[in-house]
Chain A
Amino acid sequence: MIAVAVLVSAVAAFLASSGYYAAATPIERRILGDATIDRGRPGPWKVGSELVRTVVVAAVFAWLAARAGLDHLPDTVALAALLWLAFPAVLLTGSILWERVPPITAAIHAGDWLIKLLLIATLVATLH
């Protein structure tokens, strides 16, 4: 059952992420103008790689939740918030600090990770 939860949450996170970037990129473009990174339209191999990447994230999340005995919804959401803060958010502040990545780009990526992790936390707790 946990495998189903991982797969379903990975697909849901992938779809949510695609919709999120479609909505957020025009805002980024309005702020950064020509400096905006052109992410283009992803080809099939990129879509496949992105799905695999999201499956890995969901699987590690599910393993951690099980190992820590966090089975229920508020607990998994708290775990997602902790992981988001300590890893993607910290990494993205590093990219602003050390590589001068525009804060709006980093904020958009941080938002994507937050949505992904909250969705995975919700579905893993619901479907496991």
Chain B
Amino acid sequence: MPTPLHEVAGTAPTTCTGAARPVRPARRLGWTWSASAAVAPLVTASIWYSIFGAAWVRLSGVDPIAASHPSRWAMLGQLGRNAVVVLALTALARRAGAASIRDVVGLAVLVWFGFEAMSVLGSVLHEGYPFALYLIHVGDALQTTLVMATLIGLSQRARRRNLVGHDAREGTGR
């Protein structure tokens, strides 16, 4: 059955008194959480690098001025990278049946360990990448993963409530 129009429009059906009751549909809320999952790590990562930024600049040899004033394109690129990770984590969580925030966080931490922590470790082993720099980057990836997973978990919860609400309206009682 197609999505009821009131869900698309963001308002409940007109009541018997004729007044339209504004609601925030769970589906829209789910998308809000998902978008937040891509945007919020920009904030938390800037906090992370305000703490470890000096060590990062010293160890990596990047230009400190460029590092402290990233271009608009660099930030846009970072947002795009975050969006790819959020979409992949969401797909994995749904496919793996991770329904609660705890499940999604557990899954995301495992993925972080297996594919992010292990990925950067190769540079430490074979390219002389400083271990402290490794810890800074892997720590940032972990905090990013935790923030994303929590918001994806909230998105999943909103989506589930939407499905339950939809079934109740349909009268399936599932």
One of B96, B111, B127 near A60 (C-beta < 8 A): B111
Flag A81-119 by CB within 8 Å of B: 1 or 0 each: 011011110110110011110000000010001000000
With the chains together, A82 CA to B74 CA distance in Å? Answer: 23
Q: Does B88 contact A (CB under 8 A)?
A: yes
Flag B64-88 by CB within 8 Å of A: 1 or 0 each: 0001000000100110010011011
Residues of A with C-beta under 8 A to B169? none
Majority secondary structure, B binding face:
helix
Q: Which residue of B lies closest to A101 (CB)?
A: B123
A-B interface contact total, Cβ < 8 Å: 88
Are B110 and A63 neighbours in the complex by a CB distance under 8 Å? yes
Are A56 and B113 neighbours in the complex by a CB distance under 8 Å? yes
Binds A, one of B4-12, B114-122, B151-159: B114-122
Instruction: Please name 14 pairs of A and B residues whose Cβ atoms are closer than 8 Å in the assembled complex, sorted by A.
Output: A42-B125, A49-B125, A50-B125, A53-B118, A53-B122, A53-B125, A60-B110, A64-B114, A82-B91, A86-B85, A93-B77, A93-B81, A98-B74, A99-B60
